[in-house]
Amino acid sequence: MEPIVTIAAGAIRGRTDDGVTRFLGVPYAAAPVGPARFRLPEPAPAWDGVREASEMGATCAQSPYPAPIHALIGSDGIPGDEYLNANVWTPDPAASGLPVLVWIHGGAFVRGSNARAIYDGTSFARDGVVLVSINYRLGVSGFAAIEGAPHNRGLHDQLFALRWVRDNIAAFGGDPGNVTIFGESAGGMSVAALIAAPQSAGLFRRAIVQSGNGAVAADLDDARKVTAALAEELGIAPTAEDFGALGPDQLRAAQNAVALAVMMDPDPQRWGTTVIEQGLGIMSLFPVRDDDIVAGPATETLAAHPERAVPLVIGTTADEFRFFTVPTGITAGITADTLPSVLTRYGIDPAVAPAYSAQRPDATPAEIFNAILTDWCFRAGTLDFATANAAGADTHVYEFAWPTELPGLGACHVLEVPFVFDALDEAHSLTGPNPPQHLATEIHAAWVRFATDGTVVWPTYTPDTPNTRVFDSPESSTIPDLRPAELAALRQAIPRP
């Protein structure tokens, strides 16, 4: 069956299989190519006739993940200019009033797309929710602070996509007044930024943040240091005119070179304190303070404007940082002797390590390192944002704790995503061959329930009652105060605002 719906730009033809209708690669904005690469998004040109929407659309130009990460989650790369596109899965395009979920992918703001198999929205549509997944500009195109160009173009794309959802989702059976946004990693950080941004008012009712936080916003002067290095690598002036004259392959090559330089020489004097402290050697291009949609780190902005809070589910995996250190072999070099110096490299006082060792007497120095970095990069910032949001709306915190069957990775970054999407068959390179289906059924149902009517089955989180739902197998549970001694020691070592 090939149903046709009409949206603002024209008619599109999708495909229905097993009771789920999908419309793929639908442009929500004009192609950001040439000089337009560094402008605000504009509406997609209208088309005549019926546009086919049965295959995934283009993705923003990007480099593959390093081989060890690629082996776990693959890489993205569908060529084409119209990469500001959306995919829509719906139970019935002729319906009305269906709840809507909008997915914002991760990838450290330089990789990723809405075309990944583990982001397939079939299971959500099967369970009565319209699922929309969006692309946005990445890397230099989306986040470099360039003279003569608006900042945070990638976030502007996300806002533009949400306006597109508001204006068009009824054509797919969705309710524009019942939209929940959710995202993981850079997508989760984007969700936090959108909650805090005044421009998002009325575009969504609820939000879910997976493995992100609200602490990321580079100072403009620091971000310009990265841009200056990019321009030097390219032999151009750091202006929108010069950057706009280059193709995506040139931009990508310079982006890779500068990212490697930041990683190999994380000097705040060279790159800026906020780039090093907030990027942690993983990110060199990410949202920047712009006096527009990013007044500062989302947690600080939300704390000052609790009226912007929305009902929220937010959480992390138990072993986030192992994703970055185990496959790449970094942990192999962490011993009792090297642990203090490695922590110092990340700006962490080594005095925090004994507090973690006391709670984990059988853990190796590498496991202690990963536990500290998991809390520093993800969990502490997640709870800070939860605290800020709880001042204005119901907030629920979770931790995904089931460890993958792959050696050493534990409950690592990205692992919860195929469970959320109930797409375990697509994820064995990350989960191993026997992931627990009952856990996917549980967490997926929790997301569906929250998107449908805001219901959450575990208690709310507040600073005085810091409840955390721990998703695990064989059984999940709610912990009133999860690992408080470790978190207290970390906060004492590195106070957060």
Among all residues, which ones are annotated catalytic? 185, 320, 413
Rg of the chain's alpha carbons, rounded to an integer? 22
In DSSP notation, 318-354 reads TTTTHHHHTTTTGGGG--TTTHHHHHHHTT--GGGHH
One-character DSSP codes across 252-287:
HHHHHHHHHHHHH---HHHH-HHHHHHHTTT-SS--
Contact call for residues 490 and 380 (beta carbons, < 8 A): yes
For 50-64, b/e burial (b = at least 16 CB within 10 A) is: ebebeebbbbbbbbe
Closest CA to 199 of 250, 237, 143, 161: 161
The secondary structure of the chain in percent helix, strand, coil, rounded to multiples of 5, reads: 40, 15, 40
Question: What whole-number distance in Å separates Cα of residue 461 and Cα of residue 463?
Answer: 7
CB 314 within 8 A of CB 396: yes
Contact assessment for residue 463 and residue 386, using Cβ atoms and an 8 Å cutoff: no
Q: What is the largest CA-CA distance in the chain?
A: 68
